[in-house]
């Protein structure tokens, strides 16, 4: 029983932040469907298979393309921390580091 | 003991392989592709309507009930509004997704990969995305970093699922995202300075894992190593990045979008 418990826990951890790439087959299917969906009115769509370049657009202003509704507050959600708060020892310069210890800057602030 | 260990490794491998393969078994989609594409377009239209040049978007890659407390989303990437040219010469404007993905065939390594919004949600467990739209001033800074060599220079190919964001030993998709945010905030490509600022101001998501589990986890995959952590394990997640940005007034909007609703966090 203990083995199962450990196994499930480890498996769960493995899933936590897998950053997994979609499978090739599914990617192609999605790209095709995305292109089809684009023909039904969504201007901001591009198929991965057919894209040859994508250049970031630096623009300011309001809406960039199709219109949309404002955020509806239809429920409540939370991004509150789950579990205990980490102690101050995590990841400090005293633990394993591959970079030299340097002093931090001030709190992040936008001009 | 040997038998126990062999069983453990086999079981863990069986559990973990589908997740690393993109949350789909043997290439079979989890959700209908047309629904995935429609949702991807919904997210695109929503971001565009808000004038977002850059957004941080997350997806649900697995059943949330099996994820540790406090972790709802399993993959995070930048969505960048771009001028797109297709193979037939036609052009359009839409979002391009800048990902860090685990490398197929060697899960201890990762690659920076651009794909489409529909690709991003391919293999998702559910049509549910967490979205952070940075403050417009930060968006401009992020664009400058993403379009510069710094974006790739901040990539560490050594992948760990539970990478410690306060160190540079390993990296996962959320940590790379955080590193890029910090590079933009502090106008630096100095990794040591970035890590120092993360250590000072960013609170990772705690992950409950005990000593025995930490010892055994690498037997399943080296990508599960926690050697870069101290006594407790914590990693960057969508939620922890959202908290950091919200607490420091760096975000214009932080919300959840599903096919039928938008909910502000």
Q: What is the pLDDT of residues B168-199, one digit of tens each?
A: 999 999 999 999 999 999 999 999 999 999 99
**What is the number of H-type helices and E-type strands within chain A?**
2, 1
Q: Which residues of A touch B168 (CB under 8 A)?
A: 97-99
Number of residues written out for chain B: 265
pLDDT of residue A7: 57
* DSSP label of A40: T
Check if B228 contacts A (Cβ < 8 Å).
yes
Task: Find which of A8, A39, A52, A54 to mutate to test the B interface (most B CBs within 10 Å of its CB).
Answer: A54
**Which tokens in the block code for residue A3?**
């083995």
With 90 as the cut, is the pLDDT of residue A90 above it? Answer: no
CB B153 within 8 A of CB B106: no
CB contact under 8 A, B217 and A86: no
Scan for tokens 């090739």, then name that residue: A24
Q: Radius of gyration of chain B from Cα atoms?
A: 18
pLDDT at position A48 over 80 = no
Q: What CA–CA distance (Å, rounded) separates B143 from B188?
A: 14
Question: Which pLDDT does position A60 carry in this prediction?
Answer: 60
- How does pLDDT run across A73-87, given as a tens digit for each residue? 334 455 544 433 333
Residue of higher predicted confidence among A91 and B94: B94
From chain A, the residues in CB contact with B93 under 8 A are 43-44, 57, 64-65
Contact (CB<8Å) B101/A20: yes
Instruction: Report the percent of chain A where pLDDT is more than 70.
Output: 19
pLDDT at B20: 29
Tell if the CB–CB gap between A50 and B38 is shorter than 8 Å: no
Distances (CA, A) of A108 to B157, B194, B200: 27, 11, 11
**B74 DSSP 8-state letter:** S
**Which chain B residues are within 8 Å of A108, Cβ to Cβ?**
182, 185-186, 197, 201, 248, 250
Average pLDDT over residues A85-99: 42
pTM metric for this prediction? 0.80
| DSSP β-ladder status, B106-115 and B91-103 | antiparallel
Nearest to B95 by CA among B67, B62, B126, B133: B133
What is the DSSP secondary structure assignment for residue A98, as one 8-state letter? Answer: S
Name the least confident of A20-24, A53-57, A66-70, B37-41: A66-70
**Count of other CB atoms within 10 angstroms of residue B45:** 24
**Residue contact B93–A44, C-beta within 8 A:** yes
- According to the model, what pLDDT value does residue A3 have? 59
* Low-confidence residues in chain B, pLDDT < 50: 1-28
Pick from B49, B136, B264: CB nearest A66: B49
DSSP state letter for A69? P
The helix/strand count (H/E) of chain B reads as 9, 9
Flag if B36 and A87 touch (Cβ within 8 Å): no
Does A71 have pLDDT greater than 50? Answer: no
DSSP at B248: T
Q: How far apart are CA A51 and CA B36, in angstroms?
A: 19
Q: Is the pLDDT of residue A12 over 80?
A: no
Q: What is the pLDDT of residue B108?
A: 92
Secondary structure class of B97 (helix, strand, coil): strand
pLDDT at A1: 54
């Amino acid at each position: 029983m203990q083995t199962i418990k450990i196994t499930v826990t480890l498996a769960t951890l493995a899933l936590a932040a897998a950053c997994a790439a979609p499978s090739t087959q599914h990617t192609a299917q999605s790209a095709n469907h995305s292109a089809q969906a684009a023909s039904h009115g969504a201007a901001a769509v591009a198929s991965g298979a057919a894209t040859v370049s994508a250049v970031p657009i630096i623009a300011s202003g309001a809406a960039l393309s199709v219109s949309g509704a404002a955020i509806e507050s239809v429920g409540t959600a939370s991004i509150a921390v789950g579990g205990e708060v980490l102690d101050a020892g995590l990841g400090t310069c005293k633990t394993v580091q591959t970079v030299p210890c340097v002093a931090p800057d001030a709190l992040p602030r936008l001009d | 003991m040997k038998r126990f260990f062999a069983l453990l490794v086999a079981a863990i491998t069986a559990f973990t392989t589908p997740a690393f393969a993109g949350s789909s078994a043997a290439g079979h989609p989890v959700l209908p592709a047309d629904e995935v594409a429609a949702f991807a377009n919904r997210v695109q239209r929503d971001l565009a309507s808000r004038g977002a040049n850059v957004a941080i978007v997350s997806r649900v890659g697995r059943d949330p009930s099996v994820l540790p407390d406090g972790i709802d989303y399993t993959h995070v990437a930048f969505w960048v509004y771009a001028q797109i040219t297709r193979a037939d010469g036609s052009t359009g404007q839409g979002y391009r997704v800048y990902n860090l993905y685990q490398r197929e065939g060697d899960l201890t390594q990762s690659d920076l990969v651009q794909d489409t919004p529909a690709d991003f949600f391919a293999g998702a467990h559910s049509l549910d995305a967490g979205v952070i739209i940075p403050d417009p001033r930060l968006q401009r800074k992020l664009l400058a970093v993403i379009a510069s060599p710094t974006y790739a220079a901040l990539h560490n190919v050594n992948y760990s699922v539970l990478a410690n964001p306060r160190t540079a030993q390993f990296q996962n998709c959320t940590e790379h995202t955080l590193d890029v945010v910090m590079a933009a905030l502090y106008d630096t490509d100095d990794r040591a300075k970035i890590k120092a600022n993360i250590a000072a101001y960013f609170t990772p998501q705690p992950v409950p894992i005990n000593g025995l589990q930490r010892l055994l986890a690498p037997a399943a995959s080296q990508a599960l190593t926690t050697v870069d952590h101290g006594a407790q394990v914590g990693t960057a997640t969508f939620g922890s990045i959202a908290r950091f940005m919200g607490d420091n007034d760096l975000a214009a909007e932080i919300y959840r979008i599903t096919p039928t609703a938008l909910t502000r966090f």
